[in-house]
């Protein structure tokens, strides 16, 4: 039963991730793409954690932890870069 | 089926409902602000509820403590990144979404509301009168 539930949650997170990627590709404007990227990062984190518990290995959880931290930093950098590009600041 | 599995199943079902609602909102809502609301709220709630269910099912203490650390980091990260997206959207000058037929709908709504309110008032008045008479 436990394995069935964990498998179902993995499939569900993969489904959500696929829909987020679709939104990321279709998104008509830049904020839409950023929203899709934000949701996608959270969904991927959840998938990694569920996968780690389903396999019973600690390695996936370490990867999820580092993915969370660096994903946040990368997201911050992307948002900052896009904002500077839009407002014309940061050219000096 | 043990108690742990029942609680985990409940939190997984809640997670699936919130996740489906968030993804549906990501596709159905108009405008970036509405999509941001759907994605950030429902996405965060869905992933966090799945974390709680996985924490209940954790096979060892090492996995459980790692999940708790990930939960704390996620609680800090997800709202901050949503705030960053919202500020970026605001500073890039994205207009708010507005319904197209707003004035006509409002007039109709207020007229219908006034009629209904007047009817209710007259009904209440007659009822009160009737009660007073009897």
Task: Please tell me the least confidently modeled range out of A20-29, A45-54, B63-72, B99-108.
Answer: B99-108
Residue B109: band (very low, low, confident or very high) from pLDDT cuts 50, 70, 90 = low
B contact test, residue of A8, A11, A23, A35 with most B CBs within 10 A:
A35
pLDDT computed for residue B11 by the predictor: 92
Secondary structure of residue B98 in the 3-state scheme: coil
Residue ranges of domains in chain A: 2-87
A46 contact residues in B (CB cutoff 8 A): 46-47, 50-51
Question: b or e along A10-26 (b: 16 or more beta carbons within 10 Å of the residue's beta carbon)?
Answer: bebbeebbebbeebbee
Residue A82: band (very low, low, confident or very high) from pLDDT cuts 50, 70, 90 = confident
B72 in contact with A at a CB cutoff of 8 Å? no
Q: Which residues contact A27 (CB under 8 A, 6 or more apart)?
A: A33, A35, A36
With CB atoms and an 8 Å threshold, state whether B50 touches A30: no
Tell me which residue of B58, B47, B44 sits closest to A52, measured CA to CA: B58
A contact test, residue of B6, B26, B56, B62 with most A CBs within 10 A:
B26
Check pLDDT > 50 for residue A92. no
∠ Cα B93 B95 B80 (to 5°): 65
The answer to whether the beta carbons of residues A70 and B75 sit under 8 Å apart is no
Half-sphere exposure of residue A90, counting CA atoms within 13 Å on the CB side? 8
A56 contact residues in B (CB cutoff 8 A): 59-60, 63
With CB atoms and an 8 Å threshold, state whether B82 touches A5: no
B31-84: per-residue pLDDT in tens?
A: 888 888 888 888 889 999 999 999 998 888 888 999 999 999 999 988 888 898
The answer to whether the beta carbons of residues B21 and A38 sit under 8 Å apart is no
B82-94: per-residue pLDDT in tens?
A: 898 888 888 887 7
ipTM above 0.90, yes or no: no
């Amino acid at each position: 039963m436990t394995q069935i539930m964990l498998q179902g949650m993995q499939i569900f997170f993969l489904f959500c991730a696929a829909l987020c990627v679709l939104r990321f590709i279709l998104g008509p404007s830049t904020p839409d793409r950023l929203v899709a990227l934000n949701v996608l990062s959270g969904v991927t984190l959840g998938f990694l954690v569920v996968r780690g518990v389903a396999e019973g290995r600690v390695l996936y959880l370490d990867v999820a932890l580092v993915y969370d931290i660096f994903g946040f930093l990368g997201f911050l950098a992307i948002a900052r870069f896009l904002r500077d590009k839009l407002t014309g600041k940061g050219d000096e | 089926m043990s108690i742990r599995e029942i609680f985990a199943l409940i939190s997984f079902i809640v997670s699936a409902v919130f996740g489906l609602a968030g993804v549906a909102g990501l596709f159905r809502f108009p405008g970036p602000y509405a999509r941001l609301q759907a994605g950030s709220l429902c996405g965060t709630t869905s992933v966090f509820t799945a974390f709680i269910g996985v924490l209940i099912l954790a096979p060892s203490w090492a996995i459980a403590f790692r999940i708790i650390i990930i939960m704390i980091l996620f609680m800090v990260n997800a709202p901050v990144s949503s705030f960053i997206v919202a500020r970026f959207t605001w500073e890039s000058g994205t207009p708010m979404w507005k319904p197209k037929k707003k004035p006509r709908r409002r007039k109709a709504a207020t007229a219908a509301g006034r009629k209904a309110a007047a009817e209710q008032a007259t009904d209440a008045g007659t009822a009160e009168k009737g009660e007073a008479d009897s």
